[in-house]
Structures are given as structure tokens and as C-alpha cells.
Amino acid sequence: MTRAGRVVPTSDPTLPWVVLDGAGARIEAADVYLRELLASGSSAASCRSYAFDLLRWFRFLAAVDVGWERVSRAEVRDFVLWLRSSANPARERRRLGR
């Protein structure tokens, strides 16, 4: 899978991190979600973390060739199954008790 998109910082305190698509354009759905997150009292650090999660979601959708507006429960299920089966260093550290 091609790693399209990225998360970048901004100088806007109302949206300190944004998610860009493979062409470098902001993903509006991510902007909306991150603004809501910040408005509910989350920190800029949480915004950054969620931005990377959203990037992972949009990359998955690109890999399965499903646009954001066409997502169904099946894509959500497949994404969760993929996350559970993919390598996760944090999960491995917990398993080893580190």
C-alpha cells in the first residue's frame, strides 16, 4: 500500500494539526472531527494523536478503494480486524511486561 497523506502542524491554535491527502490537500472530514475534539476540551497533543489515527483510517480506505462518503459497517469491521492483526510494538511491550 502506498503511504499517501501526512499529518502536519499549523499555526492555527483552533486546529494545531491537520491531515493531508496524497495530493497535499487538507481532508475536510478530519478537520471537522479535530475541531470538535479540541472544542470538547482535548489538548493539542490529543489532537495530534487523533490526526495520526485518522491518517491511518484514510490510508486504509484508499487501500480498499472506498471513498469516505461510501464507508459502510463492513469497512469499519475490516479496519478493526486489520488493526488487530497488524504489528503493534506497544502491544508487544505490554505482552512482555516492559
Q: Provide the residue ranges of all domains of the chain, joining segments of one domain with +.
A: 6-96
- pTM equals 0.82
Reported as a single tens digit per residue, the pLDDT across 9-63 is 999 999 999 999 989 999 999 999 999 999 999 999 999 999 999 999 999 999 9
Nearest to 34 by CA among 25, 43, 24, 23: 43
